[in-house]
Structure formats: structure tokens, C-alpha cells
Structure 1
Amino acid sequence: MKTLKTSVLASGFSRLKAPRWHLGALWVSDVRAGKIFRIDLDGKVTIVADVPDRPFGLGFLPDGSLLVASMTRRLILKLGAEKPVIHADMADVASGYLRDLAVARDGNAYVTSFDADATGPDGFASARVLLTMPDGNIRSVADNIAHPNGLAITSSHNLLVAETLGNRLLEFKIGSDGGLLHRKVFADFEGMSPLGICGDAEGAVWAAAARQSLFVRVQPGGRITHRVHVPGRHAVACQLGGQDGRTLFCLTVAANLNDYPNLYDYPNRQQTARVEIATVDVPGAGSSVRLAEIGSH
């Protein structure tokens, strides 16, 4: 097993989520600050948009338009030159706050939703992966998931879901109508709960370990090949990108988050979130547009 170290690319954020590599830069949402940021490889930070209603998951449509999941309003917004417009209203199908977002090459957008207070089989039954299609069709495509968080779409057009309280990654085949088929376990984790995820060119997945100072690369079946330690930090999400696709962007936050049971009530004044980077052996799959599709939160 190989162990990697990180360096800090950018810091001073509140609560970062959903890293996406697109058009030569990293795009992230800051849930607490209510902003979308673009971060260049030299660490320059640009505010892309203000989204006050807790922006979470990010994804890019085939035409390059940026989508963002608004947690509390349960909307997917499309950002343009003017103010954000509603791309999809998920209120009637969402079981709770919206989380991560992944956009497939045909423009179908998947988003995770669950009630943070729900536990056990009854509560997990309402946790869902939701789909919104370019024609406006909205529906639930998977349920009974123990807190679905990070999403990743692979080069073989499968959807991976981080089942955080199930301590595993699930894999679905994406059907011709956008539905999710052939549910199976991609990898089980022992003593580890996956959060944000991203895939690489060899079919392995990088995952942030919830409330741990650790990112891991896992192969189908569960074999861990690489670890990235971030001492004194908590791993949140990751994304592959950079000029050759071999830069692993790691979103982290100070480990004292354990003092705040509800992560979304984390004091905004404590801006301890940052982006760290490590160089990996295997790149992300495909072009910059493809990399945007296979990222996670």
C-alpha cells in the first residue's frame, strides 16, 4: 500500500463541498459561505456566484452550464450570466436536504437526498437518488440507501454512490431512460464511512473517510491501494484533475468539527476549510468535461 502526502493549494473557506475539475480549474461550493469558487492551479481563488441557500453538489451540463444543488430549497439551479434560474424543483420527491450532484454526458443530472435525522431501516427507506432529465422529467431512481452522499459517474456509464452509514460504495448501471439498474456493492469498507468520491482511469475510486484524517483509493471488491493522510484535518471530498489528470484535490476541514454535531450549524466565523493536493499515479478518465462528470462531494 502506498501512502501519499499533501500540500495546501488554497485555504480560508468555511465548509467546502463537491469539487469539480472543469476548464483548467477546480470548482467548489462553500455550504456555509453560500458561494461557488473557482480555484486555479496556482491557488488563485475567484468567486463564481453567490448562492445563499446552502449550495452543495455541482455539475456541468453538456453545453457547459453549471448546475448547483441548493440544499435547503431542494432545487437544482442553473447559473448563467444573470441570476441563477431553477433547473429542477425536487421538493416533491426529495426526502430531505439535497447533497451531491453528478451530470451524465446526456445531460441527466443525479442528486442524493436524505433526512439527516433519519436512522435505521425505516429512515433509510426514504433516502434517495433523484434524477432530473433535460426534458423536465423528475423522479426517484434509487432508495433504501443508508445516507447516500458522494456520487461519481464512471467511464463505463455506471453511477457510484457513497453509502456513508452503510460503510460501502454502491454501483448501478445507468439505463437508456436514465434509470438505475443492477444495484450491487462496489466495495465494502471496514471501520470507514465514505463521503465524497471520484473515479480514475483504471476503474478505482478515491474516497474521503467521514470524520477521519484519511483519503483512500479502493479497487472494485474493496482492496485499498493508496492512502492520503491529512493529520489534524477531516477528509470531506476529492477530485482528480490538473494538467495531466494526476492531481488529487482533497477538501478538508479542521478536526474540531466533532464539537458540532450538526455540521451545517458549524460556526461560519471559523474558516478552517481548505483545498490540499497530492500527485497520484493514475489519472482521472477522459477530457476535462469527462472529469467534471466523474467527480464527487
Structure 2
Amino acid sequence: MSQVFDERQCVLGEGPLWHPERQQLFWFDILSKQLLTREDGTPKSWQFDEYVSAAGWVSRNELLIASASKLFRFDLESGASVNLCDLEADNPVTRSNDGRADPMGGFWIGTMGIHAETSAGAIYRYHKGELRKLFGGITISNSICFSPDARTAYFADTERQSIRRVALDEEGWPASEPALFVDLGADDLNPDGSVVDGEGCLWNAQWGAGRLARYAPDGTFLQRISVPAVQVTCPSFGGSDFRTLFMTTAAEGLNGEADGKTYMTEAPVPGRAEHRVRL
């Protein structure tokens, strides 16, 4: 059963990241422009001047963070930041959304319209100092995650109610056209963030359904975990043994006591450590 990990009600909680060296969870409230965490049981946050949405870990004290207009390094101890590259900085319509580090040390990041404008977003990969656009025409980018063998990437356009997969080459770049992984349209489910467990199964947060759903590598539905909040946004494995599933949620448009809080539950199978971003 899911229980509350953090009581703060995020307007749009997203991007949970378990830092394996710090043994600490970080996540975002996109619409409040905040990075959040807990240190020794005490809530802590950092305020930014634009939307921030996703991160990867670079070192014990540094994260790579995606904002509405750039990717930047952020020092957790000093609060200093160093810009790495622009991210649609010349497009005021869009912001970053879902993102995750890949097995090769690259960082995938999706963009979307601030008001979910149709097809305004895209998915990019930042690798060895280069930001390359991979896929365009995305309305709500989500579900970026990777298979344990590093040969498959997953992503979703929530608006299309489906999750896609794409083969990767040895450098981690797409080696095929995206193909359908799971079609959720028949059940009217909306795929949000995802993460892959140690067995190669994908856990998907389903916005509006109050649940996580687990799918086998062939796309077969396996099981679900109920979450008290309706708008579940993204899961992340953490804890010393990666048997804890953390889940961010969103209170946007709702006023329930459970909405927007960050939850945790014991996972039936262990996850894996998030990959380090190699700059």
C-alpha cells in the first residue's frame, strides 16, 4: 500500500530522481519552479526563476537540470549553476517536461507547450556536449526510460495515449523508427512518466487513474499499484536495495488532501540505479 513520503502538495510534481551516491530523492514542482528533497527527514527546496522539470546526477554534489530554456549543472551544496546549452530558448511556447539519463551517460529530455499546444514539443538527447533533436511533433512528452540491456528506449506522447519504443545503437542513438509498445487508448488511460525495473519491465504512471501499471518487455499488462492521488505523474526506484517505488503526483485543478503529495511503496521487484550523466 502506498504511503506518504512528503506532505508538500506540488501543483505539478514531476521528475523524481534517486541519487545513488547521496541515497536521497530529488523531485520537481514544475509549475512552482522548484526542486525539492528531504535531508535527514527535513523538507528542503530550491527556487528557480523559470520552470524546471527533470534531472540526472553528474556527481555527488551536482545535478544536470532541464529548465524551460536550457540544460544546466546545479551544485546542491552551493546553489551555483553553470549553463550547458540552450533548450528551445527561442521558443516561448514550450518548456521542458520528462527526462532521464540513458545507459551511455547521455540525457534525454522532452519538451511540450506550456498550455499543451498540439505538436509543439519534441524529444532531444544531450550527449558529449551536443544537443540533438530526435523526434518532433510531440504534444506532451513523457515516459522516457531505457531497457537494462541499453538496446531500447521508451517514450510517450500522453495526448496519443500510447507508449512507443525505439531501438538504440551502441552509442545510444536511435537506430530505428519508433514502434508501438503499449496502446492505452482502448482503456482511455493517459501515460505519464515511466521507469524500468531490474527485470526489464516498464512501470507507467497513469494520469487521472490513480495508479502505476507494470508492463512486460513485450507490452503485456502484468499488475497495478493504486496511489491515493488521482494525478500520478512519475515513478522512481530508490532506497539502499532499490525496492522502494517513489511516485510524484499533481494537485493542479484539484483540491483533495491526497493530491500533489509524493508517495512511496514497497516494490515487488527491485529497480536499478539511475545512470550517471557523463559530461
Please tell me the TM-score bracket, short chain as reference.
0.7 to 0.9
Report the structure, 1 or 2, having the larger helix content.
Answer: 1
Aligned pair partner of 2:146 in 147, 153, 165 = 153
Question: Residue 32 of structure 2 aligns to a residue in which SS?
Answer: coil
Q: Structure 2 vs 1, CA of residues 76 and 32 (structure 1 numbering), >3 Å: closer, same or farther?
A: same
Residue 93 of structure 1 contacts residue 140 of structure 1 at CA under 8 Å; is this kept in 2?
Answer: no
Tell me the amino acid that sits aligned with residue 188 of structure 1: D
Q: Could you say which residue in structure 2 is the equivalent of 1:277?
A: 264
Q: CA deviation at 1:62?
A: 6.4
State how far apart, in whole Å, the 1-side matches of 2:41 and 2:222 are: 28
CA distance in 2, matches of 1:27, 1:63: 13
Return the alpha-carbon distance in structure 2 between the equivalents of residues 54 and 118 of structure 1.
14
* Residues 251 and 275, structure 1, Cα contact 8 Å, conserved in 2: yes
Q: Is the 8 A contact 2:166 2:174 kept in 1?
A: yes
Within 5 Å, give how 1:159-198 maps onto structure 2: 159-182=153-176, 183-189=178-184, 190-198=187-195
How far apart are 1:105 and its partner, in Å? 4.0
Name 1:264's counterpart in structure 2: none
Q: State the one-letter code of the partner of 2:4.
A: V
1:50-108 CA-to-partner distances (Å, cap 9, x unmatched) read 3231110111236863011112xx21121023521211102268772211222224432
1:84 aligns with 2:81: yes
Specify whether residues 195 and 232 from structure 1 end up closer, same or farther in structure 2 by C-alpha distance, changes over 3 A only: closer
Q: TM-score, normalised by structure 1?
A: 0.79
Q: CA 1:91–1:234 in structure 2 vs 1: closer, same or farther (change >3 Å)?
A: closer
- Give aligned-pair identity as a percent: 20
Q: Which runs of 5+ in 2 are unaligned?
A: none
Q: Which runs of 4+ in 1 moved over 4 A?
A: 92-95, 116-119
CA distance in 2, matches of 1:146, 1:229: 26
Q: How many residues align?
A: 266
8 Å CA contact retained: 2:4, 2:262: yes
Residues 100-146 of structure 1, C-alpha deviation per residue, up to 9 Å, x if partnerless? 22222443221101225566xxx43x531112222x32221122445
**Is residue 161–residue 171 contact of structure 1 (8 Å, CA) maintained in 2?**
yes
Gaps of 5+ in 1: 260-269
Aligned to 1:257: 253
Preserved contact between residue 33 and residue 52 of structure 1 (Cα < 8 Å) = no
**CA RMSD in angstroms, aligned pairs only:** 2.8
